[in-house]
Amino acid sequence: MVLKWIDKFCDRAFAVVGALALTQTPAFFQQYIQQLSGRSLELKHQVEVLKGIAALSKKTLPQYISKFIESGDSDFASQGQLIQYIVNRYDTLQTSWEAMQQASVWTRPYVFVKNMQWDIVQATLADFHPAFTLTTEGLCYAFVGLLLGYSFYAILKRFVRLLFRKERRQDTGDKRQESKAK
């Protein structure tokens, strides 16, 4: 009786914890997208300034960067590499941001993993504020979390049962061998 009550309590507790844990996913994605957007907008501003500087010398930005990189002076070449890094980083962040914005509820985790910027993930986690969203996306994640939590408990319960069965079999086998030896 008590074991059944503990079992029912545990399966519900795991389901609720799973649901609560996964309801944080939309909040994390939103905060990640905000970080991504802010960084992308700042780099866009810098790229626009660099394009303006290149235009002053009647060059495109790629031509301007090439002039630096192909310079015989290592200091100027390093500056060209830095400018190229800024342009590449802007393109990467902008692509990631657009992909996250266009992703559906069900494809967003895949798009996130595919385009993930680890430094931004770390910054988002460092400043993460838990939230409970009552949106369709939040409810979908809660439902999936509920199923995952319950499934995890069911698998854990089966694993524990298997362990105890093996121990009982070994104990029974050991006792049989002892009685035969006597």
Average pLDDT for 66-95? 94
Q: Rounded distance, CA 33 to CA 100, Å?
A: 7
Q: Rounded distance, CA 49 to CA 87, Å?
A: 11
Q: How many CA atoms lie within 13 A of 105 on its CB side?
A: 12
Q: pTM, whole model, 2 decimals?
A: 0.72
pLDDT at 171 over 70: no
Residue 66's pLDDT band, with cuts at 50, 70 and 90, is very high
pLDDT computed for residue 129 by the predictor: 85
Q: Determine the residue type at 173.
A: G
**Under the phi-then-psi rule, with left for phi > 0, alpha for psi from -120 to 50, and beta for the rest, what region is 130?**
beta
Q: Rounded distance, CA 33 to CA 81, Å?
A: 27
Q: How many CA atoms lie within 13 A of 144 on its CB side?
A: 15
